[in-house]
Amino acid sequence: MQKKSFLHRWLPHPFVSVLVAITWMMLAHSLDAATLVMASLLALIIPRLVQPFIQQTPNIHWKAAVKLFFVVLWDIVISNIRIAKLVLGPMDQLHPKWYRVPLDTQHDEVNSLLAMIITTTPGTVSAGIDQDRGDILVHALSSDNTEIDIQDIKNRYEKPLMEIFHVNSGDAA
């Protein structure tokens, strides 16, 4: 068995440690010494406690991941504005629809993140991933053309996710 380095033993998941520390400081709304000490302790302890439950981070394409992050962030902002106008406007402007988005891969991370992104974007929610059918069931608060919505989801989210995880069409996890 390969012996782990000192750094790897204390920081088994450095990214998780950074997230925990930043989250604690944001929750505390403070940068005083006590908050920094507590954030550091939590950043050391929590990743060690959850280490058995976290797989090693897959080899991902970070540039594409950062780009997708900003695309999703932009879409969330724009969708919030659009949905607010729809909800506050006349009810006859709403055209709720159910539709299925066909999946190009059976890769678990890609499909799970795609469903999460769909749900995170206001106005749409993914109701479930159907692995047997190879699609995601989506509900849109208002849609004039589901085919355009499906292509937007595939082009804006699924293709970049497949690039991030180095997945080809038809691949399984």
Q: Which pLDDT score is estimated for 70? A: 96
**47, 76: one domain:** no
Residue 170 counted as domain residue: no
Same domain membership, residue 84 and residue 15: no
Q: Which pTM does this prediction carry? A: 0.72
- Sign for the CA dihedral angle at 109, 161, 18, 56 comes to positive
pLDDT at position 130: 92
What's the domain count of the chain? Answer: 2
pLDDT tens-digit series, residues 47-78: 888 888 776 667 889 899 999 999 999 999 99
| Co-location of 103 and 154 in the same domain | yes
The pLDDT of residue 148: 97
Q: How far apart are CA 165 and CA 159, in angstroms?
A: 10
The yes-or-no verdict on residue 98 having pLDDT over 90 is yes
User: 148: domain range?
Assistant: 62-164
**Same-domain check for residues 92 and 151:** yes
